[in-house]
Amino acid sequence: MTQTTKPSRRAPQRTCVVCREVKDKRDLTRIVRLPDGKVSIDPRGRMAGRGAYICASLACWQACLNGNRLDYALKTKIAPDERERLLAEGRSLIGGG
């Protein structure tokens, strides 16, 4: 009797909202707009809400939070103090100081 093996599943792919590179979902960081309107970093990628993905590049994080790309992707207006908090959290995640 022969054993059948399941084919390996592909890793989900997502696109960085800044550089538009397609990468594995695990290589990107998800930022989510929660149903109550708050914006937060979702390290596990499972929080409920509208999400946007950013790669682990400090340049992408800065461009994302200094421009309006994240506002557009999350369909919300992000306050300046919220942007600073997200940038600080992003720097700590990617080791950018």
Residue 74 lies inside a defined structural domain of this protein: yes
Task: Give me the domain span that covers residue 88.
Answer: 13-94
User: pLDDT of the chain along its 97 residues, tens only?
Assistant: 566 777 788 889 999 999 999 999 999 999 999 999 999 999 899 999 999 999 999 999 999 999 999 999 999 999 999 999 999 999 999 887 6
Residue 88 lies inside a defined structural domain of this protein: yes
Residue 8 lies inside a defined structural domain of this protein: no
Residue 1 lies inside a defined structural domain of this protein: no
Report phi then psi at 70, rounded to 5.
-70, -40
DSSP string covering the chain, please? -PPP-PPPPPPPEEEBTTT--EEEGGGEEEEEE-TTS-EEEESSS--SSEEEEEES-HHHHHHHHHSSHHHHHHTSPPPHHHHHHHHHHHHHHHT--
Instruction: State the total domains in the chain.
Output: 1
Residue 7 lies inside a defined structural domain of this protein: no
Q: Write down the pTM of the prediction.
A: 0.86
Residue 6 lies inside a defined structural domain of this protein: no
Residue 3 lies inside a defined structural domain of this protein: no
